[in-house]
């Protein structure tokens, strides 16, 4: 029954299901006892055999339950049909066992084994097993809906938090301070055209970031355009040391990605690639498809010092941890971030998410 609900453990779901199955058949047992008393039959004579049939029914029901859980992702009509077939088989087994037990241990209590009585017992058992199967299918759907609602709520909260923290993670005061200082420096150096380009790029980047709807995904082309605005600012500051390469196939430009999901990865590449580099920095942003998954790769190559390697092995840091949390919350089963040094001169961050085309 694994993966029935990503927010609950498999052991908890198994225990809950076992309690539900036991309660279901215990209720049926008590109802039968009350019915026997109402009809003037002494239930004491029937209870031992009834208990054996009860345990057999619980075991068969758990098997049916496991099969239903295993096929929960198939079409609902097919699920109902399979449940009906399984209920017929289960009812046939318990009805036949009930007949042989009575005739073996209490032949004086057994009824005539004719077609009418067999069909009555068969359809009674069928209604019980099919009723449980229908209930459990509905229970699984309830679990999935509740899990989806929790994931959606968490995703919305994360998106809103990402919007509120955008200036902290993507446009922090240190970045703004350096950018404005660079503008002043360009003006003092008599390069007003460069200063103007930097101001325009900064303005465009700020406007684009603040206008984003955090609850909507962006086509990959739009996300890359946003990163290009950011890189244009950095390029004005480090044009002699930084080279950026994009490797994105045209067919993936329409793939949907969470807004600003690449920003911390690109900023991390610029900040740490240049901050811990003794030479030029090359940043490569690439995208490729692997089955039904979209892979986004951000690499920075430079002469990285040992200090940088030690720091990166210690953890992801605030920006990358934020990306990892967002991608895992949005895509619990298929969203991952793997980041770290791949050589003394190269750092790599790899994002994986389901491929969804606009």
pLDDT of residue 138: 84
> 159-180, pLDDT tens digit by residue?
666 654 554 444 556 667 767 8
Contacting residues for 91 by C-beta, under 8 A, at least 6 apart: 121, 122, 123, 124, 125, 126, 128, 129
Q: Does the pLDDT of residue 352 top 90, yes or no?
A: yes
Q: Does the pLDDT of residue 57 top 60, yes or no?
A: yes
Looking at the DSSP assignment, which residues form a beta bridge with residue 347? Answer: 300, 341
Contacting residues for 217 by C-beta, under 8 A, at least 6 apart: 256, 257, 258, 259, 356
Q: Check: CB of residue 299 under 8 Å from CB of residue 340.
A: no
| Residue 201: both structure tokens together | 């790029």
Q: Taking all residues of the chain, what is their mean pLDDT, rounded to a whole number?
A: 78
Q: Are strands 217-219 and 256-258 parallel, antiparallel or unpaired?
A: antiparallel
Ranges 31-35, 143-147, 289-293, most confident? 289-293
Q: Check: CB of residue 328 under 8 Å from CB of residue 285.
A: no
* First-to-last C-alpha distance (Å) of the chain: 33
pLDDT of residue 256: 93
> 60-117, pLDDT tens digit by residue?
998 988 888 888 778 888 888 998 999 999 998 988 887 787 777 665 554 555 567 6
Phi, psi dihedral angles at 300 (to 5 degrees): -125, 130
| Residue 10: both structure tokens together | 């498999």
Looking at the DSSP assignment, which residues form a beta bridge with residue 346? Answer: 301, 343
Q: Does the pLDDT of residue 199 top 80, yes or no?
A: yes
| Residue 67: both structure tokens together | 């099969």
Question: Please, which pLDDT band fits residue 153 given cuts at 50, 70 and 90?
Answer: confident
């Amino acid at each position: 029954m694994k993966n029935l609900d990503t927010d609950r453990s498999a052991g908890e779901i198994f225990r809950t299901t076992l309690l539900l199955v036991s309660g279901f058949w215990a209720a049926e047992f008590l109802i039968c006892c009350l019915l026997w008393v109402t009809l003037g039959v002494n239930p004491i004579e029937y209870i031992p055999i009834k208990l054996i049939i009860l345990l057999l029914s619980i075991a068969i029901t758990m098997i049916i339950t496991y099969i239903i859980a295993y096929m929960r992702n198939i079409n609902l009509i097919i699920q109902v049909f399979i449940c009906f077939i399984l209920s017929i088989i289960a009812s046939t087994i318990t009805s036949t066992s009930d007949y042989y037990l009575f005739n073996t241990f209490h032949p004086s209590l057994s009824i005539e084994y004719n077609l009418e009585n067999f069909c009555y017992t068969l359809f009674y058992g069928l209604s019980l097993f099919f009723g449980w199967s229908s209930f459990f299918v509905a229970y699984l759907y309830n679990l999935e809906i509740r899990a989806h609602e929790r994931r959606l709520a968490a995703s919305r909260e994360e998106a809103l938090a990402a919007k509120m923290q955008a200036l902290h993670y993507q446009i922090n005061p240190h970045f703004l301070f350096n950018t404005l200082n660079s503008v002043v420096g360009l003006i003092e150096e008599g390069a007003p055209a460069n200063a103007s380009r930097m101001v325009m790029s900064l303005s465009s980047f700020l406007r684009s970031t603040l206008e984003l709807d955090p609850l909507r995904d962006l086509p990959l082309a739009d996300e890359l355009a946003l990163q290009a605005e950011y890189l244009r600012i950095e390029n004005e500051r480090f044009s002699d040391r930084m080279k950026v390469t994009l490797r994105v196939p045209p067919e993936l430009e329409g793939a949907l990605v969470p807004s600003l999901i690449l920003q911390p990865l690109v900023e991390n590449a610029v900040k740490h690639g240049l901050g811990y580099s003794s030479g030029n920095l090359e940043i490569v942003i690439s995208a490729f498809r692997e089955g039904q998954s979209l892979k986004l790769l951000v690499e920075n190559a430079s002469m990285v010092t040992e200090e940088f390697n030690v720091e990166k092995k210690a953890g992801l840091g605030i920006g990358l941890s934020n990306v990892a949390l967002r991608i895992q919350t949005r895509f619990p089963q298929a969203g991952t971030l793997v980041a770290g040094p791949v050589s003394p001169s190269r750092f790599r961050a790899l994002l994986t998410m389901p491929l969804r085309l606009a």
